Structure 1
Amino acid sequence: MNIVVLVKQVPDTGAERTLSKDDHHLDRDNADLVLDEINERAAEEALRLKEAVGAHVTVVSMGPDSAREAIRKVLAMGADRGIHVCDDRLRGADVPSTAKVLAAAVRTVTDVDLVLAGDAATDGQASAVPAVVADLLGLPQVTRVRELAVDGGEVRAERQTELGEATLFAPLPALVSVTEKINEPRYPSFKGIMAAKKKPLETVDLDDLFPDADLAAFLVTRTRVLEAVPRPPRVGGTLVTDDGSAGRQLAAYLVSEKLI
């Protein structure tokens, strides 16, 4: 069984983040970057399936040079091989372009049975990339999965949304995106970290993935941030003292702020 897990390196949500002055993208040189939390759980689920059914796990990530660290972490956890899509032309790529590139990278893996991903990355939270990748690959997809099993050529998934719960089945090959409730990721062992250094990690670019395409027409960025301003400092609120007229004061304040 061949499993591909899609992962992403993102800024640490607990650290300070700034935008570059040139293009208003994340200043990665001065950011603390980590393997995305939900993607890490997708990787853990791939490794649990590997242990259960003897699968081969390939890690795919798109990003700058630093994204290799995210791939290496999953290799240290127990994955077998990594593919790093690195190309300066992909800086600021939107959802459709990101999905197109990831789908092309998945196609380089022979006889893929299952593609695993996180439901949403913690930086963009578009929650759309896995669905677009599934569509481009022509695979059935199951989203928002909190429990997964593979048996008899199909996946069985417990799916949870705001509207309720459901048990879904899909034939392999398929794409499954998981939520933060799917599992608790393991920590890489020292032995795993050392072994990861010897595992294959291939770097490819757009020319490798689309050798016959006119990349001049490959629109990787359909939107641009023209201006960004710092978040305004917090100011003191309006204190209402209840001297018998607090209700009228509160109503007057809400009217002045055009809230009522």
Structure 2
Amino acid sequence: MHLKMTSRLLAAAFLSLVVGCQGEPTQSPEGSQSAELSAKADCVQRFDGITTCAKGNASLAASEKGVQVNGLKSLKTDGVSSTFNDAITWSQDAQIRIGSASGGLALAARDGDQVVSTLRITPGKDRQVSVEPGFTGSSSGAFRMNVYNNGRLVGSSPQPQTMMITFYSWWAFLDWYYWHWGFFSYRTTSTGGNVGMDGACGWRLNVANTTFSVKLADGKEVVGDTVEFIEEIGDGAYPYRHFSGIDVNASATDFLVTGESFGQEK
């Protein structure tokens, strides 16, 4: 992986995702991933308390810079799986270049072998990005999209199951990006919080110093710098109180995990 980047090649960006989950354990979202590890059992423990393993045809190389992930050819099979104990928060920093219009990323949050939420991200031509969330909190798999700009809510709309949403003027697959993504299980506290959201799933994406445009369900177009996807919780769903892993599958030319951590309930 070449970390020497020219100003033309380098697009410094920040993408954050946060997730918490509540769902029915018998149902997995369409496109969910299993944590099938590399037949070579290629695993490292570069980050405190986390076992990082290659998936599919991927391979790992740990160094002072982090964990280099190579061999990311297939979005269905190749990637990196992080495993930890009884986590309620997780975060990872990575430097990634997709490299081609056929590449992309697919994330999955797991409780044991149970996939409880997914997110598929596919950059396209002309700085378009398609995003498809998957949730298990209700039989419909429905969710709400919230768009923010400079911390202010500029649009909100309900979305049906497996709705692929296109964002315009965001980022390009040929560029390098500095990514940060995280995972959490929502908790109410003595200082406040929405009890009805306890254990709910949510993904949040943000690219530093970059805005996008997106159409809401009513056709209105808004400009934002942050988007959230929050699942709808159905009757009978119960919270996943802890989580044990995150899988990141990719079809990409370069992928370096530079930092990773998790937190437990106190």
TM-score by length of 2: 0.27
Higher strand share: 2
Higher helix share: 1
**Higher relative contact order (CA closer than 8 Å, sequence separation 6+):** 2
